[in-house]
Structure 1
Amino acid sequence: MTNFPPHPPPPAEELVLVDRELARLDAHRNRLLARRAWLVSVLRQPAAGGRALGPALGRALSAETIRPAETSSPSARNVLLVLGGLLLTIAAVAFTVVGWGRMGIGGRSAVLAALTAAALAGPLALLRRGLAATAESVAALGLALLVLDAYALHRVALPDVGAVAYTAWASTALAMVWAGYGRVVKPLRAPLPAAVAVAQLPLVLWSATAGPAPSPGWALLGTALFDVGVVVRATNPDVRALAAAGGSVTGALALVHGGLPSLMAGSPAEAAGPAALLAASAAVALFAAWKLPSASLAVSAVGGLALLAGVGAVVRTAAPEGWAAPAYLLGAVALLCAVVTPGVRARAPRGLSHGLAAASAAVHAAAFLAAVPPLLLVLAGPVAGLPDAWAGPGPDADAGPAGVLPAGVLTAAPVSLLIVAATAAATARPSLPYAVRPEWRTAASGAAGGLGWAALFLAPGAVGAGFAATAVFQTALTVAALAVAVRAAGRTAARTALGCALTGGTSVAVLSLATRPATFAVLGALLAATALSAARPRAGRAVRGVLGCAATALSTALLLAVAAAGDLAPQQAAVLMLAVPAGTALLAARLGGGHPVTLPMECAGAGAGLLAVALAQGDPATLALVLALGGVIAAGTALRADRRRVAAAVAVALWVPAAWARLHASDVVTPEAYTLPVTLAALAVGALRRRRDPSASSWTAYGPGLAVTLVPSLVAAWGDAHWARPLLLGLAALAVTLAGARWRLRAPLLIGGAVLALDALHELAPYVVQVVGALPRWAPPALAGLLLLAVGATYEQRLRNARRLRERLGRMH
């Protein structure tokens, strides 16, 4: 063994010691296994018999060579006994039902009675001899013969009794006989479970013979109650399992017989019968949950749902149309209040109380889901009016979503949401009797706020308010949500209020597009409230950032409304839209890069700039102006040290296409006259920067200047049929490439080389086409194959050359 130090070493050193010890043990085990294999081979040699090497080695060798049996004796015995009992049962059935022969039914009945008596008495003698398995098989045969005896009795003595009624009585008698026989012969395992299985039939069969008056659900419920009593009182695990399964099936069927009619009931009188069945089912389930703590949670939840379904059905049929969800919610709230009362909480098992609370929560969730379609219709409904912006609210504006939804649904939805919100708020209270984790309390608090806001947002449509009242109320509600988002102490509450404000603000902004005054009033109010909220230092950074982005978006929308009101063309509106990125750039420069709203606001301003570019696509001159002004804004932003790198690149990326667009708008076919001065100036600026900062990249210093001339010239050269421009462009690109190689500058080398290659390809393209057309059809594939072979043969050398080229480029600036 490795000697460990008396005091525990550091974890790293102890891990090394443990790994070393495990490796030593593995090596020792491998040596022992090898030695054992050699010893076994020696013992199996003919010269070294087990007897000559001593008793111990002989036993070891014998144990090594004996094969285990594939099946055990009890398994083989059970298979034989089951097969024997099955065959005897089949023979008895054939003897009773099929094999009439010359013996009458009375004679066969007597024979069956004698065989049954012998089969039932036989297990007593077999148990005294210790043959328990055989006794089980004979007892099972006796139970099967009892069924045949019942059949024979019906044929002989009671032929006029109906089959269903006789089966009900016979199953009752068989259940009692089998139960008594199992109680007398206690070592047998089959009679008592068989009695429980047969006991599932009598009540259901009796209900089928009683006429149409009683519902089969009551018989099923009675059977489930019997099964619950068996589970509670029985000690045999097989009996308890079978009774639990039977009770689950019969109880579920009873709930179906009560639940479906309750949903289809149209009046309180029609709902009373199913409600009574559901209430009785709930009582049975709660009794089972009280007596069986291991299953109390699930069973009590089912019982609570049954009770709520029955009570809610009666209330629903008495309530106005469309108020089904509040009707069921009232029962759920009452049940939850009863669960949390001190008396019930002190006496009821914890699982039962939690199951009832879960049932109430399920009804609350269903009511919320029922209110989602009206809420979505109110939030997204104004989108349908976008094609007819400023055309007026329309003749159906007063009806609103109520004209689309069924009667009463839009009115009941806010009530359901308010009830669910109140329950969630009560759940979030610290004084709640049950231990609810803090994160759940926080989530419940946020859900309560969001549901309450949704209920209020639905209120104008529920009361039939007109367009103007709806717009004013929803705008005020959005402003209130913004105030809560800024002032809320908790993160969850702030984010919930912010989400409500953004959702409601978007909806009411789209709704306001119905009329011009409403558009300016709503957008102006939302913009002012959002800007003021974003300026409040009390709000969190995330909230202020989102509000800054929202304020910029609202500014963009307001400018679009101004452009539409002034009947401006899209290209004219594009110039106006540049006020948004210009304003955000100035405000960001004043606030500084560390302010929470700076970056979101700049990103939203960039989005407005892209919208301006999209609006100016129809006019090249306006597009050039928009791009140039955007470049000026980006260049002004580049004066800030924290935005210099990105803003400078954006400025160059805007100025270059602006110059091209201007040339295109002026029908210029010789772009070099305009691009060369820009290139020379840009290269001079780049050289000065490289002199001040030798670590500056050549892409930043020389890339934009070279691209301003080389790229437009390359485009023009590809469409030029003369030789002068391609020749001059090739010479210029060659000079740039050589300069990049001489001074080890990556941007001139790669840009000049790419332009030179493309220019040469343009010059060679016609000759390549002629050569390819003159070749036979088999020549191109053959040349391609030879090229692939050559490349494959020199693959490794090419890889080394590529690595060298990459290293050389990496050493460039």
Structure 2
Amino acid sequence: MTYPCPACRAPADDVSGCSRCGRGPDPDAAEVIRLDLEIPVLTERAATARRAWQSADRAVTDAWRRRTEAVARIQSRLAPAAPAPAPLPVPAAVAAVTAAPRPEASTRTVQNVLFLLGGLLLGVAAVVFTAVAWNTFGVGGRALLLAAFTALALGAPLLALRRGLTATAETIAAVGLLLVLLDGYAAWYVNLFGVAGGSAARYAAGVFAVTALTAAGYARLTGLTGPRFAALAAVQPVLPLAVAAAGAGPVGWAWTLTGVAALNLGVVVLTRRPVRWAAWGLGAAWLAAAGLLALAASAFASRTGTAVTAGLALVGAAALALAGALVSRRTPAVAAAAGLVVAATGVAAARPLLLLDVTGTPALVAAVAAALAAAVAAGGRLLPAGVRVGPRAGAFLVLGLPGLGALAGTLAAVAATVEASRPAWAAGWSARPGNADSWPLPVTVLLLLAGLLVLLPRPARRDTALAGAALLSLGLTAGLHLPWWVAPALLLAAASTALLLAARATAPATATRRAAVAAAPLLVALLVGAGRPAVLAAVLATLLATGLTALALAHRRPGAVVAAVTAGAGLLVLPATAASAAAAAGAPDHWVARAALAALAALVALAWTTRAATSRAATAPRLSAPRLSAPRLSAPRLAALRLPALAAAAGAAVIAPAWALPAGDPSVLYAAAAVLAVAVTVRAAGPGRAALAAAAGALPGLWLVVAALPGLAAVLVAPYEQLGRVWDGPVTLPAPAGAVAGALGVAALAVAVLIGRNRAVLLSAVPPVAGAAALVAVGAAGAPWPVRVAAAVAAGLGGLLGTAVRRRTGADVAACGAVSAGFAGAGLAGAFAARPATLVALGATAAVAAACGAAGRTGSARVAGWLGAVGAAGGFALAAGRAAGLTPAGAAFGVLAVAALALALGAALRSRRPGESAAVQASAHVTAVLALLLCAGSANAAAAVCVLWGVVLGLRALWPGEAANPRRVLVVAAAGAELLGWWIVAGSGGVTTPEAYTLPAAAVGLLAGWLALRAYPRLSSWTAWGPALAAALLPSLAAVFAAPDAPLRRLLLGAGALAVLVLGAATRRQAPVVAGGAVLTLVALHELVRVWDLLPRWIPLAAGGLLLVGLAMTLERRRRDLHRVRSAVARMT
């Protein structure tokens, strides 16, 4: 084969290659020539095959269509005589060629839908006819039409079932049964055969009964499911409507509803699913309603007979529930129903007793509950294990109802006992709670406890008996009408027994339960014992003895925690025991409080004793056994006592400040003593004492602070009153109480004890407290004004200098510095009484602050020093100017000079201490702002300050070695200061044109953006120039819209926007192009709107009409296109 050579395009063949260039044979080039000749032939063959396939496909589609039409004609001819024949089999050969198009909906589906809609329409028509169209026809016509409708609706399902349309038959049958009800209503409405002369309820019952029978028979005839549900629904109101006609009471209604529930239970037994589940639900609902009605009738019964009949109805409902549970053959249901029977029996037996007018009614009810519990316990052994739970739960419920009454009676008895023990510490010895008729309360508690013990298993009976004894002890004193002081003895007996048994418990849960039982008797014993000091002392001493005994009994047992808590509680109330004993001995109130303090000291000593004894016992195994055998044996018990002693000491210290209130002593001293006790106790606790110190010392420490506030305010807050009388002589400072100074001294000692040998923390914590104590002492001694001011300034500045020269950092150092600053601030405020004192104090503060900034050991101390120095120097400049007779605006220039010096200082510190430099420069700017504020009322001075500060910032920008970016920021800041000066001058001159203010600001913004773009060429123009462009264009645009009669402004704004647009296009920046274009567009639209009123009125209407017509044409075209697409898709195979 020949082909053109790929290299020289000369003829070549696949044997010898190219004759011109000598290139060898190229098979690929020869293949290309061959395929070029073959492709047109193949293309023509493919087109012929495609046309043949399309013709065959159309023929197959036409054959399927004609076949479907033939089958439909056959079905239409055979439909009256026989069911439609099965579809003819599809030939395999045809199916292999192509598949028939699947219809979107089958004939059966369409028929079902049509029947369903027809049935619904018939039902609606019937209802409308019955309710509205009565006046159109006579009685005969009405009856005939309703009968025809009913017959048609009940006969149509039979035809539907023959066609296999079950769902349609169900729907139409429901409509037919509805028509049966409507027939009954129609008969009543027209008084057919005189039916309207009787009871409406009884007639309705008959109609529902007939409907139910009709539905049941229809369901039997057709086998449909819907009529079964209709029969079940129609039979429900038959019995209630019949009873309503008889006017039954609540008990009768309860029996009626129980009967309906029994009827549903019969349906459950005789029918199958799914009606059975509906009958279950309806029966349960009716039975619940019957039970509630019977229970309400029993609860509101006022006569014994009514209560008895209501109780029988309640038992009947419960019995029917049990029968239903047995039918269900489900063990949980049987157990629950059996429990309901037991509960109903208890209520039915107990409720009539409550209507008896006798004293022992609660005891009788408790006896019935106990007897029922005994019967359940005896008979429950005969029941299966799964069923046995229900009767027991019912018995517990029966016991619980009178148990609530017994609990309420016990609470009332407790309240009566507490009331008899009042007034506190002065109750009469002969007072008795309760009366002679209170005896049923303990009897009731005993009977209920006996019933409860019978039901409970053997392992739970001991703790239950213990709880019952505790409950009995709460109400026994009032129940037996004994003197009130007998109650603490009974209550403590029950509580001590429970606590000792808890200590001997073999499981932690058991110990916790028994300890919980002792809580209520113990609390009530404390409340009642407060009636007399001697009784309270005895109660508290008994609690302490019980705790120590329990701690000894619980050695290495699970109840050791309960024993430790009990012992800790006993030790905690040791101060109260001492105070009660002192009060019982007739000691004065202040000695009573001091006895409590002595007990607190004893607790602290006990904490140290247990620590020392425990340490010696811990080393006993390394020493000789004969000498130290006894301590070694007691070491565990001493270790167990150590934690309660520590907790008791800390807890007693928490409430110690309150002891001073009844005694009339200064509470600040008690608070300080409590803080010292906490510190010593924490030291006795050993390592890990921070949490204990924070928890125990919080309240007394807060009390100490609150109590010391008046004294501290006298030396730290009162001097600030001098600021309202600057240079007008010293104000009268209050003298703090000497007790505050002593308390603060004790607090300083407590802090030292708590910190111990940690010298670094000690130097931070003790000096502030000691300094406050010294200042309060100076004030309490009646020192004159200069001495108090000098002491405060010296203490504050000395503390600040000492804090600054320390190498250590931390919260304690910061707190020490803050307190020292408070001292110095109070001294400075007091120094404003006279000009010399003010200048001396501010000068000393500036000097010390500068020393802190220069010699501080830490960065934070140096920063604080420099900031304080700048602030004090600025204050000194202001004070000096005012002392020289200058106005505030005149003195502002001195303050501005201080700001300039501070800025220079910050620049000098930049290379060595950049952090301090930034802080100092920031303080310089703040000082400059304060100088500007001093010029309020003088626009010229304010403008001068702004201009001068702009010059200072410009000079700062020229500082040698300054980086480029900070230099740009300084230039912009200088321009901003000059701009502010311009604004002030313009505002004072009465300039109201907004552009006079916005355009200079925009110029400054553009300058800042230009500098930023020089530093960061990739920066977005929106970031660089966006705010400036907004400031230049938006206010003028708003003015144009707000005041349209300003053609010059509109012209200039449009020109400016055009200039911005052109500049943005020239520099290829997005922000100017968008901003200028948007503003120019808005201005143009504004001009167009102004021309709108010049147009004739028909033009807007015509435009709107054309718009609507255009939209309609578009919609029409789209609908036509959509129809074409749907038709084309429908024709696709």
- What's the TM-score bracket when you normalise by the shorter of the two chains? 0.5 to 0.7
Amino acid at match of 1:534: G
Query: Are residues 686 and 497 of structure 1, via their aligned partners in 2, closer, same or farther at CA, if it must alter by over 3 Å?
Result: closer
Query: Are residues 680 and 463 of structure 1, via their aligned partners in 2, closer, same or farther at CA, if it must alter by over 3 Å?
Result: closer
Match of 1:371 among 686, 700, 704: 704
Q: CA deviation at 1:600?
A: 2.0
Which residue pairs with 1:624 in the alignment? 943
- Contact 1:300 1:355 (C-alpha < 8 Å) held by counterparts: no
- Contact 1:193 1:242 (C-alpha < 8 Å) held by counterparts: no
Query: Are residues 142 and 273 of structure 1, via their aligned partners in 2, closer, same or farther at CA, if it must alter by over 3 Å?
Result: closer
Cα distance in 1, alignment partners of residues 382 and 975 from structure 2 = 105
Match of 1:644 among 967, 973, 976: 967
Match of 2:925 among 606, 622, 625: 606
Cα distance in 1, alignment partners of residues 872 and 648 from structure 2 = 48
Q: CA deviation at 1:480?
A: 3.1
Amino acid at match of 1:659: W
Which residue pairs with 2:756 in the alignment? 429
Cα distance in 1, alignment partners of residues 443 and 333 from structure 2 = 36
Alignment pair present for 1:500 and 2:819: yes
Higher relative contact order (CA 8 A, sep 6+): 1
Cα distance in 2, alignment partners of residues 167 and 79 from structure 1 = 33
% identical aligned pairs:
26
Which structure 2 residues correspond to residues 674-685 of structure 1 after superposition, within 5 A?
A: none
Q: CA deviation at 1:644?
A: 2.2
CA offsets 1:398-441 (integer angstroms, 9 cap, x no match): x25x5xxxxxxx5444544544554444333379xxxxxxxxx9
Amino acid at match of 1:637: R
Q: CA deviation at 1:352?
A: 2.8
Cα distance in 2, alignment partners of residues 178 and 444 from structure 1 = 67
Query: Are residues 327 and 125 of structure 1, via their aligned partners in 2, closer, same or farther at CA, if it must alter by over 3 Å?
Result: same
Which residue pairs with 1:356 in the alignment? 648
Which residue pairs with 2:606 in the alignment? 338
Q: CA deviation at 1:525?
A: 2.7
Alignment pair present for 1:390 and 2:727: yes
- Contact 1:617 1:623 (C-alpha < 8 Å) held by counterparts: yes
- Contact 2:546 2:566 (C-alpha < 8 Å) held by counterparts: no
Cα distance in 1, alignment partners of residues 581 and 822 from structure 2 = 37
Query: Are residues 574 and 165 of structure 1, via their aligned partners in 2, closer, same or farther at CA, if it must alter by over 3 Å?
Result: same
Alignment pair present for 1:187 and 2:455: no
Query: Are residues 768 and 245 of structure 1, via their aligned partners in 2, closer, same or farther at CA, if it must alter by over 3 Å?
Result: farther
- Contact 1:289 1:352 (C-alpha < 8 Å) held by counterparts: no
Cα distance in 2, alignment partners of residues 772 and 487 from structure 1 = 80
Cα distance in 2, alignment partners of residues 529 and 120 from structure 1 = 91
Which stretch of the first structure deviates more once superposed, 721-730 or 339-348? 721-730
Match of 1:226 among 465, 482, 497: 497
SS at match of 1:348: helix
Amino acid at match of 1:605: A
- Contact 1:197 1:242 (C-alpha < 8 Å) held by counterparts: no
Which residue pairs with 1:615 in the alignment? 934
Q: CA deviation at 1:572?
A: 1.6
Which stretch of the first structure deviates more once superposed, 336-345 or 578-587? 336-345
Which residue pairs with 1:19 in the alignment? none
Match of 1:306 among 565, 573, 578: 573
SS at match of 1:599: helix
Query: Are residues 475 and 661 of structure 1, via their aligned partners in 2, closer, same or farther at CA, if it must alter by over 3 Å?
Result: same
Query: Are residues 676 and 338 of structure 1, via their aligned partners in 2, closer, same or farther at CA, if it must alter by over 3 Å?
Result: closer
SS at match of 1:193: helix
Query: Are residues 557 and 202 of structure 1, via their aligned partners in 2, closer, same or farther at CA, if it must alter by over 3 Å?
Result: same
Match of 1:550 among 868, 871, 878: 868
Cα distance in 2, alignment partners of residues 189 and 686 from structure 1 = 86
Match of 2:954 among 629, 635, 640: 635
Query: Are residues 430 and 210 of structure 1, via their aligned partners in 2, closer, same or farther at CA, if it must alter by over 3 Å?
Result: farther
- Contact 1:171 1:201 (C-alpha < 8 Å) held by counterparts: no
Amino acid at match of 2:930: L
Query: Are residues 162 and 477 of structure 1, via their aligned partners in 2, closer, same or farther at CA, if it must alter by over 3 Å?
Result: same
Alignment pair present for 1:519 and 2:810: no
- Contact 1:126 1:134 (C-alpha < 8 Å) held by counterparts: no
Alignment pair present for 1:741 and 2:1065: yes
CA offsets 1:188-238 (integer angstroms, 9 cap, x no match): 634650443233433764389788774966765554323212322355888
* Number of aligned residue pairs: 661
Which residue pairs with 1:655 in the alignment? 978
Amino acid at match of 1:527: A
Cα distance in 1, alignment partners of residues 908 and 582 from structure 2 = 63
The structure with the larger Rg is 2
Amino acid at match of 1:742: A
CA offsets 1:379-400 (integer angstroms, 9 cap, x no match): 4444445333333333x42x25
TM-score (norm 1): 0.61
Cα distance in 1, alignment partners of residues 778 and 373 from structure 2 = 81
Which residue pairs with 2:889 in the alignment? 571
Query: Are residues 592 and 178 of structure 1, via their aligned partners in 2, closer, same or farther at CA, if it must alter by over 3 Å?
Result: same
Amino acid at match of 1:528: A
SS at match of 1:597: helix
SS at match of 2:458: coil
- Contact 1:176 1:195 (C-alpha < 8 Å) held by counterparts: no
Cα distance in 2, alignment partners of residues 452 and 776 from structure 1 = 93
Cα distance in 2, alignment partners of residues 382 and 522 from structure 1 = 14
Which residue pairs with 1:597 in the alignment? 916
Which structure 2 residues correspond to residues 676-695 of structure 1 after superposition, within 5 A?
A: 695=1017
TM-score (norm 2): 0.46
Which structure 2 residues correspond to residues 723-742 of structure 1 after superposition, within 5 A?
A: 734-735=1058-1059, 737-742=1061-1066
Query: Are residues 320 and 174 of structure 1, via their aligned partners in 2, closer, same or farther at CA, if it must alter by over 3 Å?
Result: same
Q: CA deviation at 1:279?
A: 6.0
- Contact 2:537 2:581 (C-alpha < 8 Å) held by counterparts: yes
Query: Are residues 597 and 178 of structure 1, via their aligned partners in 2, closer, same or farther at CA, if it must alter by over 3 Å?
Result: same
Amino acid at match of 2:1067: W
SS at match of 1:199: helix
Cα distance in 2, alignment partners of residues 532 and 369 from structure 1 = 36
Q: CA deviation at 1:654?
A: 0.6
Q: CA deviation at 1:343?
A: 3.5
Cα distance in 2, alignment partners of residues 335 and 627 from structure 1 = 70
- Contact 2:728 2:834 (C-alpha < 8 Å) held by counterparts: yes
Query: Are residues 384 and 200 of structure 1, via their aligned partners in 2, closer, same or farther at CA, if it must alter by over 3 Å?
Result: farther
- Contact 2:366 2:399 (C-alpha < 8 Å) held by counterparts: no
Q: CA deviation at 1:608?
A: 1.3
- Contact 1:584 1:602 (C-alpha < 8 Å) held by counterparts: yes
